A and B are shown apart, each in its own frame.
Chain A
């Protein structure tokens, strides 16, 4: 159930894997060609997050990005295709170990009643590269399954494009 493909550009091939680790969690892994300090900054500083977070091929833009990066501080990412119809992820930082670990809550605002997911990001530096494991722990099996299922049903009725939209919104 591990899904991965490579990207080859004549240097290190970095793969992104997504695995359903249990009925409530997804694990996403990736190695980056930079030191942990730099990856950590790129993942937390709003001016840097703006440069990579939105999957561009889906036409998604990150309109606003605010982050008060300290324990108890909150963040909010406002994004979408159409600025008139923005969506947002927001939450509070629960743990921060510089260059090593980020734990935060994540609420998808259009589905606030579904509760918050807990996102744990671990960074491990090896030989100047950084291995990142992002663990998304959903409030319940039903939320993760429901998200998946609504995505599937919608996909059958609507265009593939819109399904991509929905998947992108899963964060």
Chain B
């Protein structure tokens, strides 16, 4: 969890993860698509691998990097739970402010009649 957030907080790593969502890729391919040089890509992939976000697979002459969805799902689960708490709280606030708004309008209407 912890590593997932930290790994994704870096914009280029986030872009790599987004790219890998479309399928496994080799290092040079990732570099070309995202306009990064190979040492940069390798460095980022190392961090992503340590965070458990990518796996490497040897295929023919190539080493392909692919996404491991588990950490992302776990993180999504947490954020979603957190979001639901806020949503409930804010739904309650919305109800209240609508009520206050309506009261104020009816009071203003009454005052105009006087």
- Residues of A at the B interface (CB closer than 8 Å) are 1, 3-5, 7, 14, 16-18, 20, 22-23, 26, 28, 30, 32-35, 38-39, 41-43, 48, 51-58, 130, 141, 144-146, 148-149, 151-152, 163-164, 167-168, 170
Contacts and interface: CB of A to CB of B under 8 A. Distances in A.
Contacts of B6: 23, 141, 145
Contacts, number: 108
A11 to B, nearest CB: 10
Q: Considering the complex of A and B, which 7 residue pairs feature the smallest CB-CB distances, nearest first? A: A34-B97, A52-B92, A16-B87, A18-B83, A52-B93, A34-B101, A145-B2
Interface of B: 1-2, 5-6, 8-9, 74, 76, 78-83, 85-98, 100-101, 104
A7 B104 contact: no
Given A20-B79, A55-B85, A145-B1, 18 more contacts: A3-B80, A3-B83, A14-B90, A16-B86, A30-B90, A30-B94, A33-B101, A34-B101, A38-B104, A41-B100, A43-B93, A52-B89, A55-B88, A56-B88, A58-B88, A145-B5, A148-B78, A168-B85
